[in-house]
Structure 1
Amino acid sequence: MNKLQELKKHLKQGKVYRRADLSKWSKSVDRHLEELLKDGTLQKLSQGLYFYPESTAFGQAPPEEEVLVRSFLKDSRFLVTSLNAYNALGVGTTQLYNQKTVYNHKRHGDFTLGGKTFSFRVKPHFPRKATPEFLLVDLLNNLDLLAEDPTEVLAKVRSRATTMDTKKLKKSLVDYGNAKTKKLLEPVIAA
């Protein structure tokens, strides 16, 4: 068995690899990567990031978002969300956005991974899962990014805040709200 075949034995379909991951199994990583890309075993997602696609009845499945981001960050502490998530709150947001936001502790900036654009934002605190309370606070933190009229959205956010679990909303506001968001929401919660 040649060295390339030996390397292929370690690869698993549906998994994302960094160049450094492959160097554990190959002394000629760059040459082997070139061959694996050429024969279609691996696909390049971004600089130093590769994917071994899984074949399905519908063709090759793209990498799972969570796996992709975890491999890119080399960390499992992140939250993937989108401005689209605000639409479920019922506060008048209806636009659809192509970009995902990744709250994390390591990277900042916009990166294209596997053909998708992710906006990585370093935040000291974020929940493991996006709750409605977190999303309401996050919406106000990002109000200037929305296509809708901020005045109309703000009025509906204030109304929606009165129907939410006050204790959970206060905690989300303290933990994740910026100064402007706290100024807008604290009077509504206190009332």
Structure 2
Amino acid sequence: MTAELTNHSRRRFLQGVLISLGTGLSNGLIGDNALAAALNYRVVPDGEPYQTKVLSNEQLMLLKRVCNTIIPATETPGAGDIGVHGFIDHQLYHCYDLNVHNRMRAILSVIETSSLRIYGHSFAQLNAEKQVVHLTRLETAAEPFSEQQRTDFKQLKALVCFGYYTSETGASHELVYQAYPGGFKGQIAYRGRAGYGSLAYY
């Protein structure tokens, strides 16, 4: 398979994932720039430092916890475990303006400060059940969260889903993505040894 064909196949797959997220959530994710950035993202191997682009190191670690709460580990790793938080930082830098950067920073700050106020602990210190409850309240704009914060969190969730389901883990294990659905089967029967030259007939 040529690199060009592989890239085209992946692009079609990414577009299908975005459409499945729904028009509202996929808005801003489906442009050529977003797809190109996603295709060019490479996860930083464990042990190597990651140079943040939009988020601070503290925000990135908080986002990792949020990613793992939205898509937790089951038979496959959670979203944070495969580096979706780094992918989001990458996408924000390449595909979004300062307004979106500030909104994503702000919603992460809201998650942390409200956790401290309600539970007396940072979001990372909450058990898994409380983390789910906390984000569910945000997603439904329950007290103390506002509708605008709910909207911003939905955009963050869309980025988490986009990052996870376009990763190798999400595509090959969760969605069982195949460049050739059903597998590739050659159609030319093998008839033994043949010397195919420039004048050979098939």
TM-score (norm 2): 0.24
Higher helix share: 2
TM-score (norm 1): 0.25
Highest RCO, 1 vs 2 (Cα 8 Å, sep ≥ 6) = 2
Higher strand share: 1
